[in-house]
Structure 1
């Protein structure tokens, strides 16, 4: 589940990996706070096949209906707050979701010591310290019964809990319980209770009042954080909370003790208290700011999630000199690890719960680093960091509340050596959103000015120069053939007579795969696009047949840009595997027609080293050239602090025999965005080029 600026996106998939995305336009008024992961739902809406993927557009809140497994269900519903000594009603709702009647139901509700029973209704009785009801028979198909007693808080009781109640029956002798709830004395609910013991607040969509001291104010995030000074002793609950204010913030300052009334939300899957007006916030005093918790997350991913959830909204710190393992992104975020882990890099495929993510306190998306105050690259160090712990887009992250120290390292990028006589090279590179300055143009990135486009072309050419002018370059994310021709015409490349090849696909953003081939070393003899069966991709494999100077051998190249993992790795992997199988089928047909040929499958396969799509290709006899590198050298991309391989070159056995070296030109993935007028080639893209060097057969 993901909340975007104008919509909610929810991914539904079955055990076979078939994916359907729900696109919920916020204009419909539908909320997703009560939708939970790992549960089943019945969805009604308009279905569309968009870019090879199914989408459903629900229209009404009633279009999203949770489907419950058969069984007995029970939930306590006491008031959130009560005045000590005044009576209030406690309701237990029992639901029979089985398809048949049930008999001899027994409901047991133990009493909190701070609770005094005034009256028991619905023929219930008090046995010892437990209120009990017996129900002779209950219909199925969702029938529900409310059971009730009246009680009051005893003097000096701060709160009472309702957490060990249960129901049993003839059909369901194993007791079923419900979510623990509380009634608090007075008018305020403590922050620890609002946060709850789980990722979702037990008070979601409820209107409550709470109190805390202001710890951080972020106008660009449209809100501020508070933290309670006295909290419970449960290590699974957090004492901090984000107050979502909208564009107009109330007049508060760090250190103010405030009372806030609002509605509990799970926005971006972060527990928040949303106010409707600044008048919902009252300054009731002043206080010291709590001492931040020094972060030390565990390595295990599951344990790390629990660790961070218990600190969500709290003031935290990184006091030691932590290492940057993921550079500052266009979202203003970067990733750290503590020195205790003795790591230079964090790898995909391994637990990385120890990662600490840092944000810039805004929602701004940057196209360059001109306005980014914090800029880090992999290898930099950070110390003295203090901030509040937020959650958005799948990660807990620090929103800094004060300035801190950054030690930047000078980039060290070693260009590849010039090709020796009798050699040729192959490069694959996702050049990231390489569009021209004319319309049509996608909504993102912005349409470049002519000068910006020319600079971009120059930076691509400089990257090709640093890669030692490869013989065959397979690009991904290029808009059209004319762009490739502009690259070839750059003064740095002109003497190499690069020839361009590209056939338009049907991608909704207009990004395609294409080639540049050095005319002084090789010639393109054929260009063929292979539209995939079953609409499995809008970016079909593009094949070129190449003949090298001084060789009679034929080289076939299949350039690809597989489906991204934005819908989740497991959910989208079946589609990438189908795309890999389509490449394998094409490759086998080409080699059947020309058994002695050399064959290359390459591109941004959006698949990790050793993943199922790569296995599918390798099962046909293709060899992944990353096999030639040591594990600590295998990366072409860094995502949220985890180094990984997405860009691959696979060759048949005939060609692998002539391989001299595989190199990755690490000029992009480890570095932040460039300046708008930056003329160097560092971070022209978010992917590193991968280059294979061969002896000419």
Structure 2
């Protein structure tokens, strides 16, 4: 008998074909040995079994494996048909005398449940039956003859390759044999509790409802399940409500009452209630004041509970409302937003006036009129009409006018029209990424020409964009959106903003599908696109290590995914990861709140950048003010570096006759290191100006020739070390100024002991009523040496040809006088 489906009582005969061979076998899945059961006659099958056998003679054969699915031919129940599996072993088999009571009617489909269930919670007691004009109602007791079918119901075009089928009876003969009470529904969260983290961990090779979410819901297929006071975790869409039971012992909601995903948790405890009513209004945080009961089914790649909107208990508003950003505009801080505006065009027949107004109001009221806006999914002027043109100037002008009408600034836009129908999205719509910027706050740098759709941007030797704006590696992004880079200036600070919209997750297999784990077919392309953006930024940093770069947009993947890891590399920081977990989401899909939109910054901006994910759309319907399916993100950059006591980067003021550096905050021990970068040193040398370093104790003046000498010895950049002491006496002489120590470190951190060809000057603040004053220098032998200087009105200036520790002293008795 060949392996496969066989009737109960079938006898299996094992033969080796070897002379004088002995056969040993197992039926528990273990590998047979000579200590296993010896085969002496036919093996009678009474249940599903895997037989493993070896033949032993002069040698031992390989292990032969035979899998048998054993089906009953009489006294068959629904639980036998369903079994502990996702695909019934009775598929294609004609069965007779299947009894059950009707529990739910859905058009030509009706659901029955066994009134004499087995005691195995892993096997469902319910099944769906397809029969036109059946005329049945809940409570009818029926006997059925029919064919077991694995049926693929509602789903996407690829459902036959990706989805799970529903076991049903078709071609049935229905006999009503009476009536019976409808069985009590299993209460979700009380009678049955789903796994909270694992969907599947065994590639569907084991059926473990207590451990795997996909097996848990399958074990209930066709049965009545009750959801007490369902908590709604996202907006109604397609007539679907995603919920969790009020009785769940664990409910880990985010700030707007939805469920977040994590790398190892996609929330198998949630379930879809299919009410088939797209006009039903509900949002995250709302709940139903009562119990929803219906049979478990499957559609569009997910398990679901069937119900009607008319049967639902009263909907209670949970109080979740759209929010406004907590970021407060500051005159000297730059704000940048990222917003997927979901197929926005100038055509009111495709982008309604209400949506255009809501998007504009969100920029003004919810985001406080950002200085720069990365706009994702801007369509051409006529939207998805297949007109053969991709121009979008009117689409940008429409949103700008709406922003002005809402009380915001008059933005200007940055755009590159894509090649017609070559960037993905809605056919004819030609979505792209572009920018709005407030010219009262930001200027678009005149660094190069505007790139065309097929021009690849690159960097100049100075680290500016050669094309402004220009697209990044367009040849590497066929049939999807191309990243765009633009260079702006804000209050003297140059910043490059890259807008990105990577390929969608279309092509990824579903979480509750036939293939486990799901194959993420779209990920490879996103990794490649992310790498091209990272490579582009890395090239810019090679030209200018201090380059300021922001990457903003819809990356179409999660913060813990490989595409985000590749995009960041070791040069960018994803600011989304700074957002508290309860606030970290921008999109809602099939019951899960998740992050698809991101803003990343170069390392030099990371500590100076705040981020807010502004939740105004994802958890709401249009009736609640939703303008897009994505939430916007907003960052605020403070270009003033954080003050670290004892550390300072020199930023000389060249406006006067001298280049002036005012010292910052000293550390607790009275030390301060001022770093002069190679660029600053070059600027000093080119200016030809003396360097004046103003400290609270003294002023150091170095001539241009001395700066040149230091730069040559240091290897370009250098660090000026300053230490301050406050001893009252020096070598038994009264000190009338603090002691100050000046030192130099080279580019490699090595100490520089230089003797200048000309004298540098140090001017101390002293007491004008002390008539006798001397300069004092701490010599290499540790002794203080006094010398003459020039006394002014409350100052004392000394000339020195090398740096070291200096102060001003007087004779004993002078302070008393």
TM-score over 0.5 for the alignment?
yes
Q: Per the alignment, in what secondary structure is the counterpart of residue 470 of structure 1?
A: coil
RMSD: 3.4
Does residue 478 of structure 1 match 2:392? Answer: no
Name the structure 2 match of 1:613: 563
Q: Per the alignment, in what secondary structure is the counterpart of residue 359 of structure 1?
A: strand
Aligned counterparts of 1:288 and 1:595: Cα–Cα separation in 2: 76
Equivalent pair of 1:565/1:572 in contact (CA under 8 Å): yes
Equivalent pair of 1:624/1:651 in contact (CA under 8 Å): yes
Q: 1:667 aligns with which of 604, 612, 616?
A: 616
Name the structure 2 match of 1:257: 141
Shift of 1:503: 2.9
Aligned counterparts of 2:501 and 2:547: Cα–Cα separation in 1: 20
Aligned counterparts of 1:561 and 1:287: Cα–Cα separation in 2: 56
Does residue 628 of structure 1 match 2:578? Answer: yes
Q: Sort the Cα spacing of 1:199 and 1:620 in 2 relative to 1 into closer, same or farther, 3 A.
A: same
Q: 2:418 aligns with which of 481, 504, 510?
A: 504
Does residue 335 of structure 1 match 2:243? Answer: yes
Q: Sort the Cα spacing of 1:289 and 1:412 in 2 relative to 1 into closer, same or farther, 3 A.
A: same
For 1:295-314, what aligned pairs fall within 5 Å after superposition?
295=188, 296-301=193-198, 302=200, 303=211, 304-314=213-223
Q: 1:467 aligns with which of 364, 367, 380?
A: 367
Per-residue CA deviations over 1:515-551 (Å, capped at 9, x if unaligned) read: 2222322233411112455556621111122223x32
For 1:166-565, what aligned pairs fall within 5 Å after superposition?
166=51, 168-170=53-55, 174=63, 176-185=65-74, 189-209=76-96, 210-219=98-107, 223-245=109-131, 248-260=132-144, 261-267=146-152, 268-276=163-171, 280-295=173-188, 296-301=193-198, 302=200, 303=211, 304-319=213-228, 321-338=229-246, 339-345=248-254, 346-349=259-262, 350-351=264-265, 353=267, 355-362=269-276, 366=278, 371-372=279-280, 375-378=282-285, 380=287, 383-400=290-307, 402-416=311-325, 419-435=329-345, 437=347, 449=349, 453-465=352-364, 466-480=366-380, 481=392, 482-490=394-402, 491-492=405-406, 495-504=409-418, 506-508=422-424, 509=426, 510-525=430-445, 526-533=468-475, 535=477, 538-548=480-490, 550-564=491-505
Q: Per the alignment, in what secondary structure is the counterpart of residue 161 of structure 1?
A: coil
Equivalent pair of 1:536/1:579 in contact (CA under 8 Å): no
Aligned counterparts of 2:122 and 2:271: Cα–Cα separation in 1: 21
TM-score by length of 2: 0.60
Shift of 1:624: 1.0
Name the structure 2 match of 1:689: 632
Give the strand-richer structure, 1 or 2.
1
Equivalent pair of 1:377/1:408 in contact (CA under 8 Å): no
Aligned counterparts of 2:567 and 2:332: Cα–Cα separation in 1: 29
Shift of 1:627: 3.2
Per-residue CA deviations over 1:592-628 (Å, capped at 9, x if unaligned) read: 3444331111211122113222222322311111233
Name the structure 1 match of 2:208: none
Q: Sort the Cα spacing of 1:516 and 1:535 in 2 relative to 1 into closer, same or farther, 3 A.
A: closer
Aligned counterparts of 1:265 and 1:299: Cα–Cα separation in 2: 28
Q: Which runs of 5+ in 2 are unaligned?
A: 28-36, 153-162, 201-210, 381-391, 446-467, 510-518, 641-817
Point out the structure with max Rg over C-alpha. Answer: 2
Equivalent pair of 2:505/2:523 in contact (CA under 8 Å): no
Shift of 1:172: 5.3
Per-residue CA deviations over 1:477-533 (Å, capped at 9, x if unaligned) read: 222223222111212266423324243262343332222222322233411112455
Aligned counterparts of 2:295 and 2:151: Cα–Cα separation in 1: 17
Give the structure, 1 or 2, with the largest relative contact order (CA under 8 Å, sep 6 or more): 1
TM-score by length of 1: 0.69
Aligned counterparts of 2:269 and 2:521: Cα–Cα separation in 1: 24
Shift of 1:355: 2.2
Equivalent pair of 1:328/1:375 in contact (CA under 8 Å): yes
Aligned counterparts of 2:484 and 2:13: Cα–Cα separation in 1: 61
Equivalent pair of 2:50/2:68 in contact (CA under 8 Å): no
Q: Sort the Cα spacing of 1:601 and 1:335 in 2 relative to 1 into closer, same or farther, 3 A.
A: same
Aligned counterparts of 2:24 and 2:566: Cα–Cα separation in 1: 55
Q: 2:4 aligns with which of 62, 66, 75?
A: 75
Aligned counterparts of 1:485 and 1:128: Cα–Cα separation in 2: 85
Count of residues in correspondence between the two structures? 537
Per-residue CA deviations over 1:266-298 (Å, capped at 9, x if unaligned) read: 42523232535xx74333321110011111213
Shift of 1:647: 0.8
Aligned counterparts of 1:211 and 1:502: Cα–Cα separation in 2: 66
Equivalent pair of 1:106/1:132 in contact (CA under 8 Å): no
Aligned counterparts of 2:112 and 2:127: Cα–Cα separation in 1: 5
Q: Which runs of 5+ in 1 are unaligned?
A: 1-71, 80-88, 111-126, 134-148, 150-159, 438-447
Name the structure 2 match of 1:117: none
Equivalent pair of 2:71/2:90 in contact (CA under 8 Å): no
Shift of 1:305: 2.5
Aligned counterparts of 1:237 and 1:175: Cα–Cα separation in 2: 30
Higher mean alpha-carbon deviation, 587-596 vs 604-613, is at 587-596
Q: Sort the Cα spacing of 1:547 and 1:624 in 2 relative to 1 into closer, same or farther, 3 A.
A: same
Aligned counterparts of 2:338 and 2:18: Cα–Cα separation in 1: 65
Shift of 1:650: 0.4
Equivalent pair of 2:336/2:634 in contact (CA under 8 Å): yes
Shift of 1:391: 2.0
Equivalent pair of 1:270/1:390 in contact (CA under 8 Å): no
Per-residue CA deviations over 1:22-80 (Å, capped at 9, x if unaligned) read: xxxxxxxxxxxxxxxxxxxxxxxxxxxxxxxxxxxxxxxxxxxxxxxxxx97235228x
Equivalent pair of 1:192/1:238 in contact (CA under 8 Å): yes
